[in-house]
Structure 1
Amino acid sequence: MEVQNDYDPSIGFRIKGKAKLREAPQDTCVICLDAVTERAVAVPCNHLNFDFLCLLSWSQEHPSCPLCKAPLTAIEYDWRSPTDRKVYTIPKQDEADKTPTVASATSLIRPSRRRPATSHRPLHTNPDAALAFRRRIYADQNYSLHVGANRTSQYRNFTPATFTTSPALQSRARLFMRRELHVFDFLADNNARLGFLIEYIVAILKTTEVKDASGSASALVAEFLGTNAASLFLHELEAWLRSPYERLEDWDRHVQYAPKRPRYSNG
C-alpha cells in the first residue's frame, strides 16, 4: 500500500495532493525553528514547513520559498479541510516598483514647524481615561472623521512600500497598537498574544493597502478582532499614521468624531 507522505497529523488530513515534507521535520518552522502553530503552504512549490506569520514576514523581504527559492505567488493557511483554506496573494514586484522611494517615504512623517489648529477636545493625561475613551469609540462604532492630505492639515498618505521603508512609521504603528489593542479584554492581560498580533499587523501593513478594495487587510485582522472591530481598528490606525503627531496625547486632542445622534422611539 502506498504511504501518504503529505499527511499532516497536526491537522488530521492531507493538506494538498502535492504537498510533501522534505528538508525539515514536519512540526518545526524552518524560519523561526520553533514548533509550527499555524501551518502555511508556499504556492506554487507546496512546501509546508512554515508558520503563517513567519512565511508572511519572510515574503516581504524575499518573495521566494525559503527552501527551494521558487518565486512565491501566494500563501495558503488556516486549513479546515482539504478544500477549505484561506489564501494570501503575494503582491507583484512590478507593483511595488511603482511606489515612492525611501526619500519620499521619510518626508511623509516629518511634520512641518507650523502647529495644527487646536480643538476643544480635553487632553487625556491619565492613561486609564484615554483607554476608557477608546473603548467608547469601539462600543459606539464611531469612526474618526477623515482629514485631507495637504500642507495645512499636515496629514500625509502612505503605501505599503513607504511603510516598509520607514522605520519611523513602523515605530508609530507599534506605539498606537500597544495602547489601542488593550481595548480588547483578551489582549489586555496577555503580552505574548499582544506582541504577536502587533507584529502580525505590521507585516500586513508592509504588503497590503489598509483600504484595499478586496478588503484583504480587514479580513486578516478580523480573524482576531471580529469584522466590525477590525474595520474600525484599521481606520483609526490609518488616521494615526497619516497624522503629523508623534505623541498619542496630541492625537487624542485633535482627532475628531461625529456626535452620536440620540435614538428616538415612538412612545
Structure 2
Amino acid sequence: MDDSSAELCSICLSAITERAITVPCNHYTFDFGCLARWLQQSSNCPLCKAEVTAVEYDWRSPTDFKTFRPPKKPDPDTLQNQPTIRSQLGGRFQTRRPVHRRPYSPPSPDTALLRRRYVYRNRLYSLHVGSNRISRYRNLTPQMITNSPDLQSRARMWIRRELRVFAFLNSDSDNSDASGSRLSNNAEFLLTYIISILKTVDIKSSTGHAEDLLQEFLGRENARLFLHELNAWLRSPYTKLEDWDRNIQYGEPLPERFDEHGRGIGRMQQRGCRSRSQTPHSERRIYRERYPLSRYEPD
C-alpha cells in the first residue's frame, strides 16, 4: 500500500509505517505497532469498540499477508488462572508458563544459538566498531530502515534467530496444547512488532524509548542487550549470520562448547577477547551487580 506514508494512524496520529487491519470490523487506519500495544490493554477496536478477533498485517498483496490472533478475553471467574499475552511473551509473572505445558526441549540446538544464549546469560555486550571506510560499519536512522527493504530483511533474519534464545517464546510444533500454539504465533507477532519499532524509534536514543517498548516482552536487561546486539548487526557490513558470529567481539573469551541451556563447558575461546575499543572489565562487573539475572533469563 503505497499511500501509507501519507496516511496517519488513528491511535498515535503519526504516519503509518506498517499497516494493520482489524477483524471483523475492517478498520485499516492503524500502525501495527500502535494497534499491538492497544490490544495489550483492550480487545476492542479503537474506533468502533467491536471486539478484535484478529489483526491482518505485513501486506504484500490482497492474498499475501499475516494474521495475528490476540488471546481471547477470559471469563471473569477464570481471569486469575489465565496467562495474559504479556506473561506468555515474557512478563513479570511466575505463571508465564502454563502448568500443563511440556518443558521446552529444543531438538539439538546449533552451536551458534547456544553461543547467543551464553551471551545473554552472562550479559555480554559486543564491542563497538567505529564507522569508517575500512570497517564498513555505518550508523543508521529509523528513516533509513523504513526506506530500505534490504535492511528490513537483514533485521528479520537476525531477529528470527535471536528470539529462539528465549525458550518462553518458542514451543514444540508437535505440542497440541493451545497455549503452545499461541506462543509460536506470538513469537512471529513479536518479530513484526520489533520491525515496527525499528521504523519509528531510534534504538540507540538516550531516552530509552525502544527499550521501554520491548522490555514488556523480554525483560529490561534482555531488551537492553537485544537492542544493542541488533544495532551492532545492522551497522555491520555482514549479510550472513555466520560471518557476523565469526567476527563479532566481546570483552572476554567465549567457551568452545555449551550445554543445552547455553552454559559454557570446557576452556574458553580466545577469539573476540581483545579489541581496540574493549570495554573495561570493571564496567561490566558493575553492570552485572546492578542488573542481576532475573526470571527473563534465556532458558
Could you tell me how far 1:193 is from its partner in structure 2?
Answer: 1.1
Check 1:133–1:27 CA distance in 2 against 1; reply closer, same or farther (3 A cut): same
- Taking the aligned partners of 1:26 and 1:153, their CA distance within structure 2 comes to 47
Within-5 A mapping of 1:29-108: 30-31=27-28, 37-39=39-41, 47=47
1:259 maps onto 2:252 in alignment: yes
Could you tell me how far 1:28 is from its partner in structure 2?
Answer: 4.7
The C-alpha deviation readout for 1:112-140, integer Å capped at 9, x for no partner, is xxxxxxxxxxxxxx961111000000001
Partner of 2:129: 147
Contact kept in structure 2, 1:27 and 1:49, CA below 8 Å: no
Contact kept in structure 1, 2:143 and 2:199, CA below 8 Å: yes
Contact kept in structure 1, 2:23 and 2:56, CA below 8 Å: no
Contact kept in structure 2, 1:56 and 1:203, CA below 8 Å: no
1:208 maps onto 2:214 in alignment: no
Partner of 1:129: 111
1:231 maps onto 2:224 in alignment: yes
List gaps (5 residues or longer) in structure 1.
1-24, 41-45, 59-125
Output the TM-score relative to the length of structure 1.
0.54
- Taking the aligned partners of 1:57 and 1:32, their CA distance within structure 2 comes to 14
- Taking the aligned partners of 2:137 and 2:230, their CA distance within structure 1 comes to 13
List gaps (5 residues or longer) in structure 2.
1-21, 60-107, 172-182, 254-280, 286-299
1:163 maps onto 2:145 in alignment: yes
SS of the counterpart of 2:164?
helix
The C-alpha deviation readout for 1:240-267, integer Å capped at 9, x for no partner, is 000000000000000000017699xxxx
Check 1:219–1:29 CA distance in 2 against 1; reply closer, same or farther (3 A cut): farther
- Taking the aligned partners of 1:55 and 1:218, their CA distance within structure 2 comes to 25
SS of the counterpart of 1:194?
helix
Decide which of 236, 240, 250 is 1:247's aligned counterpart: 240
Greater RCO between the two (CA within 8 Å, min separation 6)? Answer: 2
Contact kept in structure 1, 2:137 and 2:236, CA below 8 Å: yes
Output the TM-score relative to the length of structure 2.
0.49
Contact kept in structure 2, 1:145 and 1:257, CA below 8 Å: yes
Partner of 1:183: 165
- Taking the aligned partners of 1:178 and 1:193, their CA distance within structure 2 comes to 12
Could you tell me how far 1:179 is from its partner in structure 2?
Answer: 0.4
Check 1:57–1:178 CA distance in 2 against 1; reply closer, same or farther (3 A cut): closer
Could you tell me how far 1:191 is from its partner in structure 2?
Answer: 2.7
Contact kept in structure 2, 1:26 and 1:49, CA below 8 Å: no
Could you tell me how far 1:31 is from its partner in structure 2?
Answer: 2.8
SS of the counterpart of 1:217?
helix
